[in-house]
Amino acid sequence: MFDFNEDEVERYSRHILLQEVGVEGQAKLRESSVLVVGAGGLGSPVAYYLVAAGVGKIGIVDFDEVDLSNLQRQILHSTDDVGRAKTDSAKETLEALNPNVEIITYNQRLGTDNVEDLVSQYDIVIDGVDNFAARYLVNDACVFTNTPLVEGGILRFEGQVTLIDPEEGPCYRCVFPEPPKPGSIPSCQEAGVLGAIAGTIGTLQATEAIKYLLGIGESLIGRLVIYDALQLSFREVKIEQNSDCSLCGAKPEITELEEYTIHCSLQEND
Ligand SMILES: [Zn+2]
């Protein structure tokens, strides 16, 4: 039944014990694929937990190299990895964790030319990008290709997370129609971020993706959860599809992908 070998049954035993998962759910995870955009602060815990969970295929996109200042939060990478491509370092770490998972890496910058093709090859996408240009690009590509997206962001002592399912609820632009003006929002480089916040938000993103793939629990569609680490509080904001949304509204103005190069210098958070 579901042909898991002995090692796999043991590896996933704590999942299989869960009534909501079981062998069937574990088999579902093995048949599933997730694209993780960014192998940074959020992408690290996301990829770790999805690979540990036995999701069959994980894609990782990143064009950057590991920098010493990344290691405070980007836990996929080690001191010896400084200077290496993040995709190479991530693949090595993740394959050591679980050799049953297929890790596909894309050492490339996301752009209007490749993003739709990439996201449409996966069941769900997780956003762990570090700038608004990429955030809007990924949102728009997911809406155009009807691909669900777990959105997450962190800055200073705060983080937020939501699930965007273009067939069922609001997109990122329904809530934040346009990228902020350059300089209007401080970046991690300027404002800093507590490294462990990436762990909290990334872990929530991984959990929501697993719930979505298994079809269990209450989804985060239409809910934006905001985490304040200094208060240790979670706040939830209801978000609704905006019929005037320039992307997914009744009369969309955006009908093809746009590149926001002007915002690329504005490092937001990752
Ligand atoms: Zn929208």
Torsion 93-103-125-33 (CA) sign: negative
**How far is C-alpha 169 from the geometric centre of its chain's CA atoms?**
18
- Give the number of domains in the chain: 1
More confident: 155 or 186: 155
For residue range 30-48, what is the model confidence (pLDDT) as tens digits?
999 999 999 999 999 999 9
Give the distance (Å) from ligand 1 centre to CA of residue 2.
39
What's residue 232's pLDDT? 98
The one-letter amino acid at 37: V
Give the distance (Å) from ligand 1 centre to CA of residue 33.
25
Which of 210, 204, 165 is CA-nearest to residue 50? 210
Give the distance (Å) from ligand 1 centre to CA of residue 29.
29
Average pLDDT, the chain: 93
pLDDT at 2 over 80: no
Give the distance (Å) from ligand 1 centre to CA of residue 141.
12
Give the tokens for residue 122. 């996966």
Q: Is residue 55 part of a domain?
A: yes
**What is the domain range of residue 182?**
32-238
Angle, alpha carbons 182-171-115 (nearest 5°): 70
What's residue 188's pLDDT? 60
Q: Is residue 246 part of a domain?
A: no
For residue range 47-104, what is the model confidence (pLDDT) as tens digits?
999 999 999 999 999 999 999 999 999 999 999 999 999 999 999 999 999 999 999 9
What's residue 189's pLDDT? 63
Give the distance (Å) from ligand 1 centre to CA of residue 250.
10
- Integer Cα distance of 59 and 41 in angstroms: 16
pLDDT at 138 over 80: yes
Give the distance (Å) from ligand 1 centre to CA of residue 170.
5
Q: Is residue 248 part of a domain?
A: no
Give the distance (Å) from ligand 1 centre to CA of residue 150.
15
Q: Is residue 221 part of a domain?
A: yes
Give the distance (Å) from ligand 1 centre to CA of residue 240.
9
Give the distance (Å) from ligand 1 centre to CA of residue 132.
16
Give the distance (Å) from ligand 1 centre to CA of residue 249.
6
What's residue 262's pLDDT? 46
Segment 150-169 mean pLDDT: 96
Q: Is residue 254 part of a domain?
A: no
CATH code, domain with 183:
3.40.50.720
Give the distance (Å) from ligand 1 centre to CA of residue 198.
26
What's residue 258's pLDDT? 87
What's residue 270's pLDDT? 55
Give the tokens for residue 192. 């800093």
Residue 187 — very low, low, confident or very high, per pLDDT cuts 50/70/90? Answer: low
| Protein residues near ligand 1, an ion, with CB under 5 A | 171, 173-174, 245, 247-248
